[in-house]
Amino acid sequence: MNQKKIKVLEVLNLAGWGGAPQVVYDLVNGLDKSRFEIHIVCGQDNDVGLMKTLEEQRIKIIILPELKRKPAPISDLRALLKLFRLIKKEKYHVVHGHSSKAGFLARWAAKLAGVKKIYFTVHGWAFENTKEFGRIRPLLIFLERLAGLITTKIICISKYVKGVGLERKIAKPNKFVLIYNGVKQPTALNKKEAKNLLGLGDKDFIFGMISRLSYPKEPLLFLEAVKLSTQKYNQVKFLLVGSGHYYQSCLEYIKTHRLEKNILLLGSRSPSELSKIIPAFDVGVLITSSEGLGLSLIQIISYGIPIIGSNVGGIPEIIQDGINGYLVSNQPQDILDKMEKLLKNPSLLRDMGLKAKAIALEKFNLDKTVEAYTQLYLE
């Protein structure tokens, strides 16, 4: 007798490549399709790479244009009603929301539809984004506490994220679960091939930053450190991979300071494209004012590449300072100082790369991540 599949609905705001969508993509790919039937609901986004890739793998994608990132009461109510109708019709066993807006609406729609297993993965608390949501911060905390009452488990991607949730009393402690994001161990091109594909020289030393180019990320601070370095080094190149509101500002900064020969601004790239870009890095970088964990850093260390990252949020859970990379303050000179340490010391670069690979295998293994979610869904 065939066992009935467990129907799972994953709900997220955007469909473009980035933190939460990448995690959903990896999770959906990793789950056993003989045990789970998986559908995805997401809002419309200009970057449709995620949707196309998953549709090719016969994963059902439902586009919900009303599902927007920022508060929009009328659209939010429409999204809630549409989610409720969909969940009621499809009779999902598990509903799993990702990020604050989608997570809130998905959980209440699931509760109203009578779903028993309601999960929420926190990729970062919206109420910590004081720049965009500072005025409504108390409201966001209240709404998270309200949704926490009906949530089966709240999955946190780092100890830092879990600590914030506990501190703000979002839910009872026994509802919180820590599951680190994981990445598949890569089969990489060699460094020389990767550099040549990007039009870079074999002897060029490459610093690369992969990031959404919008708040709270700080690509312009990275570029300021780049400007300082170009005054001293000739064969150092910098890659900035990503798109967002800061893209135009980055482009203008590069032109104003005549850094076109030093920096490649590559825009948003899919996972398959990143697998050909990351091997070119000698050092990975992530400069940001806040961060739940830092998926791009995990991707980079999986290739055995040391990293430099801002000493904020969950990043210290990836970077063991002085072991597999360096933690920095968000000061261009501090960033440059750590860059120089790795640039000038090949043996240190090699040793940190080996430690980075070992940490990725042990702590951020995608198989472990998928298994942890599988067990939650089967509870």
Residue 90's Cβ-side half-sphere holds a number of Cα atoms within 13 Å equal to: 24
Are 191 and 279 a contacting pair, CB within 8 Å?
Answer: yes
Taking phi first (over 0 means left), then psi (-120 to 50 degrees means alpha), and beta for anything else, what does residue 365 get?
beta
Distant-in-sequence, close-in-space partners of 252: CB < 8 Å, separation ≥ 6:
none
Average pLDDT rounded to a whole number, residues 195-206: 93
Higher pLDDT, 303 or 58: 303
Tell me the per-residue pLDDT of 283-340, one tens digit each, with 9 for 90 and over. Answer: 999 999 999 999 999 999 999 999 999 999 999 999 999 999 999 999 999 999 999 9
Calculate the average pLDDT of the chain.
92
Is the pLDDT reported for residue 50 higher than 70? no
Domains of the chain, residue spans: 6-181+366-378, 191-363
Alpha helix positions (H), the chain = 19-30, 49-56, 73-90, 100-112, 130-133, 137-148, 159-167, 191-197, 219-230, 247-256, 271-277, 295-301, 332-344, 346-363, 366-378
Residue 218 and residue 212: Cα distance in Å, rounded? 9
Average pLDDT rounded to a whole number, residues 16-25: 79
Are 364 and 182 a contacting pair, CB within 8 Å?
Answer: yes
* Pairing state between β 94-98 and 117-122: parallel
Q: Is 287 exposed, middle or buried (0-12, 13-18, 19+ CB in 10 A)?
A: buried
Q: What is the pLDDT of residue 293?
A: 96
Q: What is the pLDDT of residue 95?
A: 98
Q: Mean pLDDT check: name the lowest of 12-16, 189-193, 335-339.
A: 12-16
Q: Which fold has domain 6-181+366-378?
A: Rossmann fold (3.40.50)
Are 207 and 244 a contacting pair, CB within 8 Å?
Answer: no
Residue 188's Cβ-side half-sphere holds a number of Cα atoms within 13 Å equal to: 24
The CA angle 61-12-8, to the nearest 5 degrees, is 60
Higher pLDDT, 281 or 71: 281
Most confident of 37-46, 188-197, 226-235, 363-372: 363-372
Residue 62 and residue 272: Cα distance in Å, rounded? 23
Q: What is the pLDDT of residue 17?
A: 62
Higher pLDDT, 256 or 72: 256
Is the pLDDT reported for residue 242 higher than 50? yes
Q: Which is nearest to 28 in space by CA: 373, 378, 376, 375?
A: 373
Residue 106 and residue 325: Cα distance in Å, rounded? 38
Q: What is the pLDDT of residue 251?
A: 97
**Secondary structure (3-state) at 372:** helix
The CA angle 310-373-56, to the nearest 5 degrees, is 90
**The pTM of the whole model exceeds 0.75:** yes
Give the relative orientation of helices 19-30 and 49-56 as an angle to the nearest 10 degrees. 0
Higher pLDDT, 63 or 19: 63
Q: What is the pLDDT of residue 188?
A: 67
Tell me the CATH class for 191-363: alpha beta
Q: What is the pLDDT of residue 45?
A: 58
Is the pLDDT reported for residue 69 higher than 80? no
Band of residue 1 on the pLDDT scale cut at 50, 70, 90: very low
Average pLDDT rounded to a whole number, residues 23-30: 91
Residue 15 and residue 23: Cα distance in Å, rounded? 12
Average pLDDT rounded to a whole number, residues 197-208: 94
Residue 61 and residue 42: Cα distance in Å, rounded? 8
Is the pLDDT reported for residue 47 higher than 60? no
Q: Mean pLDDT check: name the lowest of 40-44, 96-100, 191-195.
A: 40-44
Q: What is the pLDDT of residue 194?
A: 93
Residues 237-264 as b/e (b if ≥16 CB within 10 A, e otherwise) read bbbbbbbbebbeebeebbeeeebeebbb
Q: Mean pLDDT check: name the lowest of 30-39, 67-76, 120-129, 167-176.
A: 67-76
Q: Can 6-181+366-378 and 191-363 be said to share one CATH topology?
A: yes
Average pLDDT rounded to a whole number, residues 249-277: 93
Is the pLDDT reported for residue 2 higher than 60? no
Tokens matching residue 139 = 């409201």
